[in-house]
Amino acid sequence: MDTPGDLYYTEDHEWLRLDNGAATVGITDFAQNELGDIVFVEIEPEGTELGQGDIFGTVEAVKTVSELYMPVGGTITAVNTDLEMAPETVNDDPYGEGWMIEIEVQDESEIDDLMDAGAYAEIT
């Protein structure tokens, strides 16, 4: 299982990459592996403002449907529309081309609630 050291993680298996007040969010390699073949991704539209822990979308796999939770509060500034036609990209490259949303972070102190790679590896 791949757990990049430069990311933050949630107990719900989302990851966050921070870059000067903006962040990219997706699901972890562990999550995509547990879900199996992803066949559909539904995400809230750009401009949606959500709090930490709020649902920003769902992932449908052959096995199940899983909700996606905001690692930190913020406003969605971009959605990976490529996932509409190729949802399997989340399985193939969860930390790269399989990213889901970009957000403008409301309160960077919420990042303190997230895990680093070592802590996340302990729970998976």
Write out pLDDT tens, residues 63-94: 899 999 999 999 999 999 999 999 999 999 99
What's the pLDDT tens digit per position in 15-74? 999 998 799 999 999 999 999 999 999 999 999 999 999 999 999 999 899 999 999 999
Joined together, the tokens standing for residue 68 give: 């996606």
Give the separation between CA 105 and CA 77, rounded to whole angstroms.
10
pLDDT value at position 1? 82
